[in-house]
Amino acid sequence: TSSLYSFIVLLLLYPYKLITHQPTPINQSTMSDTQVPGGFAKVAEPFVCGGTAASFASVIIHPIDLAKVRMQLFGQLNPGKIGPSFPALLRGMVQTDGIWSIYKGVDAAIGRQMVYGTARIGLHRTFSNKLVEKNGGKPIGFGQKALSGMASGSIAVCIGTPFDIALVRLQADSMAPVAERRNYKHVFDALIRTTTEEGVGALYKGLAPNILRGMAMNVGMLACYDQAKEISAKVLNDPMIDGPALTTP
C-alpha cells in the first residue's frame, strides 16, 4: 500500500514540476499543442490531480461506505429484523474481526477511483476547457457545464463499472453465510473470478442505472462547483483564472 501511495504522489508531483518549470522562450506560433512546453502537463493535470484526490478521499471514507453497503444488505439478508445503527455496525466489526475489517475492499475502492475518479474529473475539465475555448475564452453557461458533466460522468462509469462490481462484492462477501462466501483475496481476484465464473457481462451488471447515477453526480458535484465558483468570482471581483487570487508581496 505504501508503494502505491508513493507512486501516486510521484505522479502528482511530476506534472507540477513540468508546469512550474520556466523554459527558455521560443516561438510557439509554429508549434502544435503537444509540442509547446508544458502542453502535455496541462492536459494531464486534471486527470492526475483529480484521480489522486479521489483515491485519497476514497481511503478516508471507506469505512463509512462499507457500513452503508452492509446496512443496505442487512434488510435483504435478515427480513423482519431491525438492523444495527451505523456506530454499532462498525463497532461490532472491529470487535469481531479487528480494525482492518472496516477497510475490507479498500484496494477495489482505490482501483475504482484511479479509473473512474480520474476519468470523470479529468474529462469534465477537458470538455469544459474546450467549450470555453470555442466560446472565445468567455465563461460558458450552466447548461453547457451540465452537458460536460453528464458526458464525462457517463464515459467514466463505462470505464469504471468493473471495479465498482468488485468493490461491492468484496464489501458484501463477509455478510453471506459461510458456505456461500466466495472469499475473494483482493480486487484482481474478484475481477478474474467473476469473469471466469460468470462471464465478462457480469462485470457490467447494473450499467444503465450506474450511468444515470454518474451523470447526476457529475452535474451535482462538478458542474455546480464550476457555476458556484464563477458566481463567487463575480461577487468578489476575483479573476479566478487558476484559483482564488492571493495577494503576495
SS3 string of the chain?
CHHHHHHHHHHHHHHHHHHHCCCCCCCCCCCCCCCCCCHHHHHHHHHHHHHHHHHHHHHHHHHHHHHHHHHHHHHHHCCCCCCCCHHHHHHHHHHHHCHHHHHCCHHHHHHHHHHHHHHHHHHHHHHHHHHHHHCCCCCCCHHHHHHHHHHHHHHHHHHHHHHHHHHHHHHHHCCCCHHHCCCCCCHHHHHHHHHHHHCHHHHHCCHHHHHHHHHHHHHHHHHHHHHHHHHHHHHHCCCCCCCCCCCCC
Q: What is the pLDDT of residue 247?
A: 55
Tens of pLDDT, residues 166-217? 888 887 887 777 778 888 888 889 999 999 999 999 999 999 999 999 999 9
pTM of the model: 0.70
pLDDT tens digit sequence for 51-101: 999 999 999 999 998 888 888 877 777 777 887 888 888 898 898 888 888
